[in-house]
Amino acid sequence: MTESLHESAHFMKMIADFMPGMVGYWTRDLRSTFANREYLNWFGKSTEEMHGVPVQDLLGGELFRKHEPYIRAALAGQPQKFDYTLALPGNEIRETLVHYIPHLDGSEVQGLFVLILDVTERKNMELALVSAAEEHQRLIGQELHDNLGQQIAAIAYQAQALERKISASKDSDPGNADAATIAASIATQAQHAVMQCKHLARGLLPLELETNGLMSALRAFASSISSTYGVVCDFVCIDDIDIGDDELALSLYRIAQEAVHNSMRHGGARNLTIALKEREGLLSLSISDDGCGLEGLTAKGATAPGMGIGIMQYRALRIGATLKLGPRAAGGTEVLIERQTR
């Protein structure tokens, strides 16, 4: 029996050692009692050095403080799953997916199983895809602004010139009145198409963001939403906030775009507010609406909102921010993005 148990324990350890990730176990008082080979390698510890070490000593004070809310929640019986950027010895940076899984004996938590997967390659691929999509959007916006919009504007100008020429000959040929009306209609529709091109280009190619910063770009975006869709979209920012990080500014702008369009498309919102503020080192961007609320996001066939939320969450993770989505007391939904600035 003893030999059988020994073989079983050896086999389980071998499985854990060959798993493509870090596997460990912490007791209820947060001491390590098991760590697989990958876990030991990442922290540069031997089995003897790892055994019984307090989690605070293993992670260090700063890292422990960042993980403590998840650890405490897991000790309360709630499984935790979150992304974390891990700095290894030698200044190596790895992107990880962390699981804290409560070990329950009935309703009592005995300890925590830890599973940490290295997702650096996947994150790098996601970053490349998002960057490629951003560049694709920029090129389309540039094409709309510089080429298609200009060509349609030329058509409008020529239609106006044709209308004036036909109108001048109406006295000699009364039948030309209908032709003048058609030319005027072509000119009007072309002008409307030019405006649509400008709105589309502004969304795909936020020149205002590059030129005047995030505040100005969000204000222009809110104004564009109001005039284009016939809704009320306000931008609120009491203080003068200067975002010196181009990637941060662009990510916040894209999140606001996604949140607003989700609110109108899936929530039926008619009144929206985009609010930007910074207080005591905490930058926050909120998008609130009076739509049908979270129920609209789970309606039959509404797969796009889930994708939109996923995109917003990914953008938030890229800039080290948290994204919360929930109902408002007054009805509707609020998307809140928060990021420490110091």
Q: For the chain, how many structural domains are there in total? A: 3
3-class secondary structure for the chain?
CHHHHHHHHHHHHHHHHHCCCEEEEEECCCEEEEECHHHHHHHCCCHHHHCCCEHHHHHCHHHHHHHHHHHHHHHCCCCEEEEEEEEECCCEEEEEEEEEEEEEECCEEEEEEEEEEECHHHHHHHHHHHHHHHHHHHHHHHHHHHHHHHHHHHHHHHHHHHHHHHHHCCCCCCCHHHHHHHHHHHHHHHHHHHHHHHHHHHHHCCHHHHHHCHHHHHHHHHHHHHHHHCCEEEEECCCCCCCCCHHHHHHHHHHHHHHHHHHHHHHCCCEEEEEEEEECCEEEEEEEECCCHHHHHHCCCCHHHHHHHHHHHHHHHHCCCEEEEEECCCCCEEEEEEEECC
pLDDT at 175: 64
pLDDT at 71: 92
Closest C-alpha among 109, 28, 24 to residue 59: 24
Domain shared by 334 and 307, yes or no: yes
> Which residue pairs, CB below 8 angstroms and at least 24 apart, start in 293-301?
293/267, 293/327, 293/328, 293/331, 293/332, 293/333, 294/325, 294/326, 294/327, 294/333, 296/266, 296/267, 296/268, 297/262, 297/266, 297/267, 299/266
pLDDT at 1: 47
pLDDT at 302: 37
Domain shared by 279 and 315, yes or no: yes
- Segments in the chain below pLDDT 70: 1-12, 17-18, 87-90, 127, 129-130, 132-136, 141, 145, 170-176, 199, 201-205, 207, 293-307, 342
Within 8 A by CB and 6+ apart from 226, the residues are 232, 233
Cα distance between residue 133 and residue 115, in whole Å: 32
Domain of 142 in residue numbering reads as: 120-205
What CATH code is carried by the domain that includes residue 303? 3.30.565.10
| pLDDT-above-70 percentage for the chain | 80
Domain shared by 131 and 169, yes or no: yes
Domain shared by 336 and 218, yes or no: yes
Chain-centroid distance, C-alpha 281: 21
pLDDT at 286: 94
Domain shared by 134 and 221, yes or no: no
Domain shared by 112 and 38, yes or no: yes
Which of 51, 86, 118 is the last residue in one of the domains? Answer: 118
Return the amino acid letter for 287. Answer: I
Tokens 């422990």, located at residue: 64
Helical packing angle, 149-168 and 176-204, nearest 10°: 160
pLDDT at 307: 67
For the full predicted model, state whether its pTM sits above 0.85.
no
Cα distance between residue 287 and residue 279, in whole Å: 17
> Which residue pairs, CB below 8 angstroms and at least 24 apart, start in 91-96?
93/120, 94/118, 94/120, 95/119, 95/120, 95/122, 95/123, 95/124, 96/120
pLDDT at 207: 66
Which of 86, 118, 150 is the last residue in one of the domains? Answer: 118
Domain shared by 65 and 125, yes or no: no
Which of 118, 138, 172 is the last residue in one of the domains? Answer: 118
Instruction: Centre a 10 Å sphere on the Cβ of residue 236 and count the other Cβ atoms it contains.
Output: 14
C-alpha dihedral (259, 260, 264, 267), degrees to nearest 10: 30
pLDDT at 112: 93
Domain shared by 141 and 189, yes or no: yes
